[in-house]
Amino acid sequence: MYFSFDHIVHYVEDPKKVITVLKEKGIHAVDGGHHQNRPTYNALCHFDLSYIEFISASDKKKLRLMNHPKFSLMESIIKNGFTEGFIRFIVRTHDIQKTAAYFENKGLEVIGPVPLSRVTPDGSVSRWKLLFVGDTNDGPNFPYFIQWDESDNDRIRNLVEKGIIGKHSYRTKFSHITIAVKDLEKTVENWAELFNLQMGGTYIDNKLQAKCRTLFLNGGNIVLSSPMDDGIVSKVLIEHGEKPFKVTLIRDIKKESFELFGGSYQIETQQSIQLLGGT
């Protein structure tokens, strides 16, 4: 199977505030519209087809009372108590039925495909299908899978025409996400085998006080990190469990880090990224 990074979901109370904050930092983000058949809406920050979705609930009580698929994003948001921060990440496939059969053969529980849609600010409708997978073993949630109704080339053209894909300062690009895990080697080897990904070597991130390994995924790499000592990753595991906690971007100049509504953002240069472990 061939997969690509699609997006990471960051739950926030007010997506419009995110757009304002990111604009001040030279990062382009826009109103994404509202989802059909559920009380959620979002803002989008695109780096070509890879993007960050800032999602919120317009009616939390109604959302809680709805039936949501097992292993789904909505299930995760509700279990997380609508706490601001990163929730899940999503992997793109071009054959969701084949993907479902692939994971069933791997012994995973497969839910879907589930058709969904979103009304954009210009009144048009974006459509896609989602696939959720999981098992009974301990560990971080698996990503879930998306197949858009448009081809990649058509999506890029439409997103550019609508201004959803725009220019960021200093040619900022998406690099990777970082996920806190308890057992680094077990998770890396399991995910590499399940998702057919190449693994990088182990390296130490002193800022995180953690051992890290990279899984190389087209469109955005996945860095798994396990604590060596008390520090950022240890705190994430204690307070939130195994989950994504940081997004890293790269640009030509001007390194920067900031906290944004429960999520950590790091902006590095290409040279500094290579020094961190070749992600």
pLDDT in tens, 103-159: 999 999 999 999 999 999 999 999 999 999 999 777 899 999 999 999 999 999 999
Q: Please tell me the distance from the alpha carbon of residue 78 to that of residue 180, in angstroms, as a whole number.
A: 20
In the prediction, which pLDDT does 47 show?
98
In the prediction, which pLDDT does 273 show?
60
Tokens of 144: 């879930």
**Structure confidence by residue, pLDDT tens digits, 26-47:** 999 999 999 999 999 999 999 9
- Tell me the domains of the chain and their CATH numbers: 4-161 (3.10.180.10), 170-277 (3.10.180.10)
In the prediction, which pLDDT does 274 show?
56
How many residues are recorded in the chain? 279
204-209: long-range pairs with CB below 8 Å, 24+: 204/228, 205/276, 205/277, 207/232, 208/178, 208/232, 208/233, 209/233, 209/234
Task: For the chain, list residues with pLDDT below 50.
Answer: none
